Amino acid sequence: MAVLPIVVAPDPRLKRKAEPVAAVDAETARLMDDMLETMYAAPGIGLAAPQVGVLKRVIVVDVAREGEAPQPLRLANPEILWTSEETRVHEEGCLSLPEMYDEVTRPARIRVRFLGRDNQVQEMEADGLLATCIQHEIDHLQGTLFVDHLSSVKRNMMLRKLQKRKKSGTLAA
Ligand code: K1U
Ligand code: ZN
């Protein structure tokens, strides 16, 4: 397994739409494993393939708390089948927007269909932080960042700060 470099915004790779995988073959399974290693190393609770420069519809998530057993999830071609009307607010961060945080409102519960690491179709329901994190990662596959859920004033301020930090060399490109 390998820790991959994470793409930091602003970057056109984070604004593009990812392509579905034809199947979870050995290459995609390896990508999933490398993404999990990258996410744990960051550390983070989720990661989408475009964040490591791969425009495929693949995400990984693990919202287990410190001291709990790991609960890694590997999802290819995730599709949201249902969302609750009830919403939840969470102060989100993003490994592609280091040190930027703000509250985002999303559906509190979701049902998702996806291909697992074994290429089998699976469905699952999620709530709480897991539901928030899966939606955040699926947004990445559409080229949407959490700042796109904020006002344009807040979004532009955060992206300008990151651009400055990249230019001054205080952030990885
Ligand atoms: O997609 C990403 O960039 C990962 C992001 C996921 C996420 C965080 C919060 C709400 C929704 C989605 C992160 O993991 S940011 C880091 C983070 O939240 C965290 C890191 C260490 C311990 C606990 C949380
Ligand atoms: Zn993110």
Residue 30 CB neighbours (<10 A) = 12
- Does a structural domain hold residue 17? yes
- Does a structural domain hold residue 39? yes
pLDDT value at residue 170: 86
Q: Is 149 labelled as part of a ligand binding site?
A: no
The CA distance from 169 to 85, in Å, is 43
Q: What residue numbers bound the domain in which 135 lies?
A: 12-168
> 3-state class of 126 per DSSP?
strand
Instruction: Supply the CATH number for residue 80's domain.
Output: 3.90.45.10
End-to-end CA distance of the chain: 23
Q: Which ligand 1 atom minimizes the distance to the CA of 48?
A: 1
Q: How many domains does the chain have?
A: 1
The CA distance from 164 to 155, in Å, is 14
**77 Cβ closer than 6 Å to some ligand 1 atom:** no
Q: Is 94 labelled as part of a ligand binding site?
A: yes
pLDDT value at residue 172: 63
Please report, for residues 49, 59, 65, 82, 138, the alpha-carbon distance to residue 4 in angstroms, rounded to integers and kept in the order given: 10, 14, 23, 32, 19
Q: In Å, how far from its chain's centre is CA 128? A: 16
Which ligand is closest in space to the CA of residue 41? 1
- Does a structural domain hold residue 164? yes
Tens place of pLDDT for every residue, the chain, 173 residues?
A: 899 999 999 999 999 999 999 999 999 999 999 999 999 999 999 999 999 999 999 999 999 999 999 999 999 999 999 999 999 999 999 999 999 999 999 999 999 999 999 999 999 999 999 999 999 999 999 999 999 999 999 999 999 999 999 999 887 65
pLDDT value at residue 171: 77
**136 Cβ closer than 6 Å to some ligand 1 atom:** yes
Which residue carries 């397994």 as its tokens? 1
Reference 72, options 91, 59, 83; nearest CA is 59
pTM assigned to the model: 0.98
Our answer to whether residue 86 is catalytic in this structure is no
